[in-house]
Structures are given as structure tokens and as C-alpha cells.
């Protein structure tokens, strides 16, 4: 990796000691207020306006772009949870009936409830709290080379058709004194994938959240995914996939950094 040579002088040389210190609790002020690296504008400053960029990546209570009903899901009692599942199931019965099905035939008997639970699972990412997701995995570390995790499997739901899209996410960043436990990158991708999504927004949200958590020199996220709404409806040929990317900070500003990333992904 040649990331070191591409970059301007670092603010601090590596002092030769390795002492990861967990940073907790993750406070809003720490995430948002004290950007010590002017080369990494916050995503809020570098992206055009959209629902993503108009709202901060992480709310005061740790939720990240929660849906309107996310907090009521989080705070619900068991009884309320049961009621919610029942209402979804009853709506599914309506759908099945309207599709001409007999909801009383054996194969479908418990399908509405099963579907309700499945949908709650597929959208559980709205309820995730970013502090729980990253836990004690933000470390002070003088590593300043590109970190890449490739081939993170993602399963999400297209919000236009409510059918799955799935594929691989590749996440890279160049640290600025903070690194995140590697498994947490996958966890972060999962948090945003388990929602109703469009692939472009999913890509952007992962990048922006990572930017907010680490204040790194740059973040890059590439997602390659297959959309059931495309491949199973004959709009496009089977096997077609969609690639989206989001580059922030030095990945956006410096062609060399971007190229190094794409080379390491094997697409250059």
C-alpha cells in the first residue's frame, strides 16, 4: 500500500508505542464538534442536500437516521410488540386474499405471522443504536494507511418494491488517529442494510456514519448488488448488478487515493 506517499505531512509521527484506548462513551459533542482535521470536511459540508445530509448521521440518543416509528418500536412493551405483529399479519392476510389465495389452506396458515416477523427482522436496522453497534471498538491508533474490508455481504430491501437486493459492500478509510474494530465495519453496513433502502442511500449512509464516528482523513464505500425487482421482472437480464460508490474526504479530493482504493478492490 502506498497511501503514505500520497498524503501531506501527518500531524503526529508514530511514537512507537501501541496502546489502543477505548473511547467511551461516545458523545454527540465528541462526534460532531471537534474535527481536528481540516482536510476532512464533514459529509454535511461536502454533500449536496438530501434527507441524509440534512439530518446529522447520529442523533443525540445514538440512533442514526431512524424511521418515524423507530423509537416506538424500541420502547414498545411485549404486549405492544404482539399487537404490532398481529396488525401486520392481518394486513398480509388481506394481501394474500386479494391475490386470490386461500389464507386457510395449510401451507399459508401461519404465513402472515411468519411474514410479519420476517419483515420486522429485515427492518431491525432502524432500531440499532450506533453506540451499541460500535461498542468499545473505537481505538486511538497512529495507523495512517488505508484500511479496507472487502466483500461484506449485505441483504437489504428495495423500498420501491419491498423485495430484496443483496450483494457485497467494500469499505475503506484512512484513519486520523482513530480506528474502528474491523468487524464493526460489517456491523455498520448491516445496520443500514436492514432497512427499506435504495442502494445509493445505503452506500452514502455507511460512508457518512463512518466519517462521523472516526473523523478519518477519508472514507470510501462501494456496493455491488443484485436487485430482485430488476432481475426477476425482465427489466434487465438476469445476473445484472448495480454498483454504487460514495467517496468522502481524501478519497473524494485525491485521485491517487481513490485509484489506490480501486486498485486494491481489483477494479482498475
3-state secondary structure of 155: strand
Determine whether 52 is an active site residue.
no
Query: Would you say how long the chain is, in residues?
Result: 268
Give the start-end residues of each E strand in 90-163: 138-140, 147-158
Residue from 58, 63, 137, 158 touching Zn ion (CB under 5 A): that is 158
- Please, which residue, 31 or 158, has the CB nearer to Zn ion? 158
- Distances 208 to 31, 48, 124, 186 between C-alpha atoms, Å: 12, 13, 20, 15
Determine whether 227 is an active site residue.
yes
Determine whether 205 is an active site residue.
no
Q: How far is the CB of 229 from Zn ion (least distance, A)?
A: 3
CA distance 172 to 151: 11
Q: Does 256 bind Zn ion (CB under 5 A)?
A: no
Residue from 161, 168, 242, 262 touching Zn ion (CB under 5 A): that is 161
Half-sphere exposure of 32 (CA within 13 A, CB side): 12
Determine whether 158 is an active site residue.
yes
Residue 9 DSSP code: P
- Please, which residue, 131 or 161, has the CB nearer to Zn ion? 161
Q: How far is the CB of 254 from Zn ion (least distance, A)?
A: 34
Q: Which stretch binds Zn ion (CB under 5 A): 32-40, 63-71, 224-232, 255-263?
A: 224-232
Contact predicate 213/160, CB 8 Å:
no
Half-sphere exposure of 229 (CA within 13 A, CB side): 14
Q: Does 73 bind Zn ion (CB under 5 A)?
A: no
Q: How far is the CB of 129 from Zn ion (least distance, A)?
A: 28
Burial 201-225 (b: 16+ CB within 10 A, else e): bbbbbbbbbbbbbbbbbbbbbbbbb
Q: How far is the CB of 195 from Zn ion (least distance, A)?
A: 14
Q: Which of residues 43-62 bind Zn ion (CB under 5 A)?
A: none
Q: Which of residues 228-247 bind Zn ion (CB under 5 A)?
A: 229
Residues facing residue 180 across a β-bridge: 138
Q: Of these residues, 158, 190, 197, 212, which one is catalytic?
A: 158
Residues near Zn ion (CB under 5 A), total: 4
Q: Of these residues, 127, 170, 197, 199, which one is catalytic?
A: 199
Q: How far is the CB of 224 from Zn ion (least distance, A)?
A: 16
Site residues, Zn ion (CB under 5 A): 158, 160-161, 229
* Catalytic residue positions, numbered: 158-161, 199, 227, 229
Amino acid at each position: 500500500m502506498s497511501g503514505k506517499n500520497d498524503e501531506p505531512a501527518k500531524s503526529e509521527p508514530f511514537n512507537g508505542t501501541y496502546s489502543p484506548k477505548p473511547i467511551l462513551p461516545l458523545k454527540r459533542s465528541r462526534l460532531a464538534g471537534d474535527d481536528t482535521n481540516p482536510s476532512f470536511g464533514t459529509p454535511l459540508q461536502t454533500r449536496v442536500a438530501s434527507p441524509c445530509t440534512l439530518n446529522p448521521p447520529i442523533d443525540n440518543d445514538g440512533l442514526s437516521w431512524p424511521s418515524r416509528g423507530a423509537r416506538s418500536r424500541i420502547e414498545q412493551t411485549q404486549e405492544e410488540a404482539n399487537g404490532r405483529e398481529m396488525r401486520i399479519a392481518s394486513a398480509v392476510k388481506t394481501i394474500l386474499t386479494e391475490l386470490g389465495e386461500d389464507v386457510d389452506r395449510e401451507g399459508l396458515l401461519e404465513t402472515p405471522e411468519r411474514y410479519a416477523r420476517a419483515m420486522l427482522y429485515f427492518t431491525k436496522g432502524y432500531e440499532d443504536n450506533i453506540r451499541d453497534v460500535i461498542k468499545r471498538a473505537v481505538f486511538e491508533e497512529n495507523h495512517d494507511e488505508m484500511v479496507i474490508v472487502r466483500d461484506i455481504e449485505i441483504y437489504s430491501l428495495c423500498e420501491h418494491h419491498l423485495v430484496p437486493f443483496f450483494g457485497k459492500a467494500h469499505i475503506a478509510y484512512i484513519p486520523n488517529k482513530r480506528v474502528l474494530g474491523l468487524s464493526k465495519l460489517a456491523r455498520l453496513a448491516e445496520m443500514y442494510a436492514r432497512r427499506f433502502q435504495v442502494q445509493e442511500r445505503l452506500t452514502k449512509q455507511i460512508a457518512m456514519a463512518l466519517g462521523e464516528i472516526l473523523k478519518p482523513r477519508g472514507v470510501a464505500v462501494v456496493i455491488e448488488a443484485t436487485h430482485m425487482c430488476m432481475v426477476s421482472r425482465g427489466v434487465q437480464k438476469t445476473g445484472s448488478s448495480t454498483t454504487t460508490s460514495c467517496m468522502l474526504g481524501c478519497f473524494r479530493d485525491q485521485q491517487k487515493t481513490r485509484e489506490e482504493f480501486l486498485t486494491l478492490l481489483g477494479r482498475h
